Amino acid sequence: MLSRLIVGAATAATLMSGVAFAQSSTVNGAAGGAVTGAIVGGPVGAAVGGVAGAVVGTAIDPPPQKVITYVQEAPAPSARVVVKEKVVVGQPLPETVVVTPIPDDPTYAYAVVNDERVIVEPSSRKVIQVIK
């Protein structure tokens, strides 16, 4: 039984995308999810838990400090943007919010919403971090 569990966990890790291992929190999320899934559901649980853990791990990777500093120091737009929805990390901004790319790092963009500066992923508009 233990050998089947080890083989199942190894298979799950092999099947995961190489992209999922790009950043340390993703790896930690995948490993933690795989271990938890293996305990609860055996090899199939390891595969499902590993993938779920990788997704959760990806969501918490913070942007580099230079991006945070840029967003803190960038001039606020002249028009104040107010939305009814609460700005939540992991959720996309409404389409009505203008997202400005960060010149030195196009993998990030920012917006000022409800007087809060937020860092977003430009392609999905998903909020990565709210700057307080």
Q: For each successive 10 residues of the chain (132 residues), what is the average pLDDT?
A: 43 40 46 59 63 55 92 86 92 93 94 94 96 88
**How confident is the model at residue 49, as a pLDDT?**
60
Token digits for 63?
A: 């942007």
> Domain locations in the chain?
2-59, 65-131
Q: What is the pLDDT of residue 26?
A: 47
Whether pTM exceeds 0.75: no
Angstrom distance (rounded) from CA 26 to CA 68: 21
pLDDT computed for residue 80 by the predictor:
82
pLDDT of residue 35: 55
Q: What are phi and psi of 2, to 5 degrees?
A: -65, -40
Question: Which of 30-68 are b and which e, b meaning 16 or more Cβ less than 10 Å from the residue's Cβ?
Answer: bbbbbbbbbeeeebebbbbbbbbbbebbbeeeebeeebb
pLDDT in the model for residue 7 = 39
